[in-house]
Amino acid sequence: MSTENSNSLKPTLETTVVDDSVPTTGPSTPTARSWPDVEEKTRSRRSRIFRSNKPKEEKWFLFKLDILLLTISCLGYFSKNLDQANINNAYVSGMKEALQMNGNQLTYAGNVFTAGYVLGQLPAVILATLIRPSILIPTMEILWSVFTFYSAAVKTSSQLYAMRFLIAICEGTYFPTVDYLLGSWYTKNERGKRMTIFYATASLAGMFSGYLQAGAYKGLNGQWLFIRREVEWARKRLLADGMRPLGAAAWEKKNIFRIMAQWQFWVLPVGYFLVQSSYPIYQPAYALWLKSRGHTTYQINVWPTGQYARSVVVQLLAGMISDSPLLRGKRWQTIIAMQIPTIFGCIVLAVWDVPIGLKYTAYYLTYTCAGVPGIYYAYYSDLMAHDHEMRGFLIAASNMFSYIQSIWWTLTVWRTTLGPRFHAAFIGASCTGVGLCILAVVLRALELRDQRKRVLCSRRKWKRIRSATCLRSGGWHVDETSHVKAAAGSSNVDAAFL
């Protein structure tokens, strides 16, 4: 692919510089800036975040991609998280008494779910490279629906454990496969917004679960198909952005060893555990605290939805700012910005003996980091743009590692009997939040190191090709431009250097 085509496919990141000077016809005297100049300057600042200079054809392509891929992905993820949130809301709305869950049964149900979720992760990503996702995902969706319907008929906690395990296996195949697909269709300056929108549906599910449970308690008590040309164009967009497009791949033992030799294999899963453990969502802590204070069932279900509303707003803003020309696809700043309020909220709740108004505020602040997982996974495509097999493998591996670690984490600090205070849990969440902020800076340093390595390798490759061509041609009439392009390949880092 030519350099001209590559440049035409890349989104334009430059912004217009507004001239603040006011032309005068008289003597040079200090004058106040006129209102049109102020408005123009404000418009320029706003454009640095929200403006898109993509051509009309590319905008239409992205619109269709969002309507099909992103919308379907969000609806599926919404239903999965609605199911996960419902068990917590049901617990504080009568399920505890109906199934006689007087001990840590809610924690055990969560751990059984985690075990099934982990088992479904890695096989799903491997199958996604062998079976069309359009076949794999709907099949698991149908099974998930069947098991979810059966969950409504459970009579004992043991039956609940069995259904949660089967549901978790089906859910475990959905998340890594869809995350893998989303990260492989969008470019660097498009992924952050889409990934945070995808993750925001989880928070919306938590909100709707509260409203649905409150309502249930109160009441009972052709044009859009992608043509082949657009599919090829989508591949070229990814190549121009320095990514290797998806394709069928045979999984062999050497692939696993190749992935294990990279730093991403050892760092990113640990980082995702920090992401999850710093997000205090393992227990409905706010709802349990409200229940201990004697609030009504309606208030217990509805008031915590404000936490999810906050998380939705934060996620959408984080995605837009991360993808904007202001940050140009950088992720580490937004991760730290979302983590700081959560750390403060966790520290307040760990102290506990604080004014009641501050305690209410702290419960809502702890959900500010809800946008971190989306940005963190969007980072995967930036860190592993050259290897889509490793990207898919590590998406599943990170989620598996985090859920496996959450088993001992919840049993240690998030046991239901430790509520509503959860003193050790909030201390642990604040500590892992600080660790995640440090890791975000480390990831940026490793990303820059890899970029320098690719530039250096490209330079050496170009020199070898030029030397070999010179020898074959006797040192005369070498088409240097073509070999420069050949050395650069599809990497935008290398092309920028050359």
Express as a percent the part of the chain with pLDDT over 70.
72
**C-alpha closest to that of 182 among 68, 266, 273:** 68
The tokens describing 268, both together, are 């990113």
Query: How far is residue 372's CA from residue 436's CA, in Å, rounded to a whole number?
Result: 10
Query: How far is residue 453's CA from residue 247's CA, in Å, rounded to a whole number?
Result: 26
Which segment, 133-142, 168-177, 264-273, is predicted with the most confidence on average?
Answer: 264-273
Does residue 428 have a pLDDT over 90? yes
So what's the pLDDT on residue 52? 59
Residue type, 439: L
Instruction: Look up residue 476 and give its DSSP letter.
Output: S
So what's the pLDDT on residue 421? 92
Name the residue with higher pLDDT: 111 or 474.
111
CA 34 to chain centre: 43
Q: Does a cis peptide bond (omega within 30 degrees of 0) precede residue 420?
A: yes
**C-alpha closest to that of 320 among 439, 200, 418, 221:** 200
Superfamily of domain 56-243+269-452: MFS general substrate transporter like domains (1.20.1250.20)
Query: How far is residue 47's CA from residue 43's CA, in Å, rounded to a whole number?
Result: 6
Residues of the chain with CATH 1.20.1250.20: 56-243+269-452
Number of H helices, E strands in the chain: 22, 0
So what's the pLDDT on residue 343? 97
> Does residue 174 contact residue 141 with C-beta atoms inside 8 Å?
yes
Distances (CA, A) of 434 to 333, 367, 377, 408: 14, 16, 19, 20
Does residue 49 have a pLDDT over 90? no
Chain segment 215-273, per-residue pLDDT in tens = 655 555 533 334 445 556 566 666 666 665 555 555 667 778 888 889 999 999 999 99
Does residue 487 have a pLDDT over 50? no
> Does residue 354 contact residue 364 with C-beta atoms inside 8 Å?
no
Rg (CA), the chain: 26
Name the residue with higher pLDDT: 330 or 253.
330
Query: How far is residue 364's CA from residue 360's CA, in Å, rounded to a whole number?
Result: 7
Name the residue with higher pLDDT: 50 or 217.
217
Give the residue carrying structure tokens 């992935």: 259
- Whether this model's pTM surpasses 0.75: no
Residue type, 468: A
**C-alpha closest to that of 379 among 370, 391, 397:** 391
**C-alpha closest to that of 166 among 147, 192, 190:** 147
